[in-house]
Amino acid sequence: MSSTFTYQFDTATYKGFSTLNTGLFIDGEFVDPVEKGTIDVVNPANGKFITQISAGTHLDIEIAVQAAKKAYKEHWGLKVSGDERAKLLHKLADLVEANADELGALEALNNGKTYHFARNIDVTACTKILRYYAGWADKIHGKTIQTKDDKLAYTRHEPIGVVGAIIPWNFPLVMLVCKIAPALATGNTIVLKPSELTPLSALRFCPLINEAGFPPGVVNVVNGFGHTVGQAIAENMTIGQVTFTGSTATGRKIMEAAAKSNLKPVSLELGGKSPSIFFDDVDVDQAVKWAALGVLQVTVHDSYCAYTDRLGSYNHGQVCFAGSRIYVHEKIYDEFINKFAEHARSLKLGDPFEPTTYQGPQVSQGQYDCIMGYIESGKQEGATLCTGGDRFGDEGYFINPTIFTDCKPHMKIVKEEIFGPVATVMKFSTEEEVIELANDTSYGLAGSVFTPNIDRALRVAHQLEAGTAWVNCLNTSEMGMPFGGFKQSGIGRELGEYALEHYTNVKAVHVNLGMRL
């Protein structure tokens, strides 16, 4: 039998024990993996062991896929009406909300983001996403095509069947919900792999699936490594579609494996190196706060609490749409740099469960080492380290907020995704120049422009080669707005009606109403 993990939490809003099963969730039950493998889970705030979870292989993926296939044919898919799927998704949202304190605590423990952030932003976003797609479940419509009187022609949007999902470690719970909500709303079953670094909230989420009333096998969660479980999902001949969020390099491998197997379609939300552009007519104090919010801060100051229902997550720089390339007009550059550095130095790092903490640790030793490698590269290539660039504290994977100036377009810290609290700041003089600089990247996930001149703001926003353009704001999101990238930032979209397109097949039906030969 699979084992359990019990941990005591003591926060301002939640005191108690959390117990979760650490096995694989297949066909509505927690089970042991075929080959009995395990993975150690570590607390990034202190680098200490938390627990072990079961590690699956391709054998477990095949078992999960067969359970999902059986559930699709017998208990789900076209056998369940849209309004019934909606009721179950709403019930799941209610359960997530009822367990928000515990889910937030597990997320903070496992990922390192602050408890305040995980509880009040991430978990809240999950409930909204579930309810948003519950609203779509009975609105998956085709079209009637005008023909002649003796023929009827129409389209149907049918579920694909079994969907495979692979999610990252930076937003474990949010990304889980972003994948399962549209998949279930459209009538699919799903086999999902959480990150091996951050599996705890997904494991706690699994019993809520049963409690909400979903039939066994509709949702299956298989822990494991990317090169085993992730690869098996991409290669599986029964899975009809794969959705992945993560690095561009891994996205290439998934796309290749999908093509070599059953040519299954893929949706990929990949890396980014987003530009943030500040013109000379901005309020510099506000510009500094937005710039910091884009790449350095883990959460928002209390004065922003009224807006947390529509602000995105910043995760101490570990976010794909981080505004890490900052372009500042030469007229305000010096003032901006001075205030930006001062603001960065004021951010409090520390225990994610401490209410006044703004920035937690990086997720793992590997991620810490990667970021520090980029910082060293910036120094070696001639960028000026304005502030930060060093370790914070004696334990855990903390990095002080880091700002580089005197950066050049060819530098590694400017061209590559760092995925940490590291900002590169560059000077520009003209609108045409900054547009060219902003688009000089292989990525195209997001970008932002700040100026009270709305004509210029929209002109620049429309020329950014990115899937999202923010105007006089940054990292905001809406459930109904799509999110995804241009160029090497991915294929397809998350959120909104656009996400539903990845989870259905369109069938054209031609009906003879009187044609005779």
Active site residue 269: yes
Catalytic option among 320, 386, 417, 494: 320
Residue type, 230: G
Q: What is the distance in angstroms between the CA of the first residue and the CA of the last residue of the chain?
A: 65
How far, in Å, CA of 322 to CA of 328, rounded?
A: 16
Q: What is the DSSP string of 396-428?
A: SS-B--EEEES--TTSHHHHS---SSEEEEEEE
Tell me the chain's radius of gyration from C-alpha atoms: 23
Of 317, 351, 315, 367, nearest to 117 by C-alpha is: 315
| 284, 451 Cβ separation under 8 angstroms | no
Residue type, 242: V
Segment (H or E) for 244: strand 241-245
Apex 179 CA angle, 200 and 352, nearest 5: 35
How far, in Å, CA of 360 to CA of 393, rounded?
A: 11
How far, in Å, CA of 311 to CA of 267, rounded?
A: 24
How far, in Å, CA of 103 to CA of 174, rounded?
A: 11
Report the 10 Å Cβ neighbour count for 390: 12
Report the 10 Å Cβ neighbour count for 400: 18
How far, in Å, CA of 47 to CA of 363, rounded?
A: 10
How far, in Å, CA of 91 to CA of 472, rounded?
A: 37
Of 447, 467, 443, 466, nearest to 457 by C-alpha is: 447
Report the 10 Å Cβ neighbour count for 199: 26
| 438, 295 Cβ separation under 8 angstroms | no
Catalytic option among 196, 235, 269, 465: 269
Helix%, strand%, coil% for the chain, nearest 5: 40, 25, 35
Q: Which residues contact 69 (CB under 8 A, 6 or more apart)?
A: 161, 162, 189, 238
**Token duo for residue 426:** 């560059």
Active site residue 386: no
| 414, 64 Cβ separation under 8 angstroms | no
Which are the catalytic amino acids? Answer: 269, 320
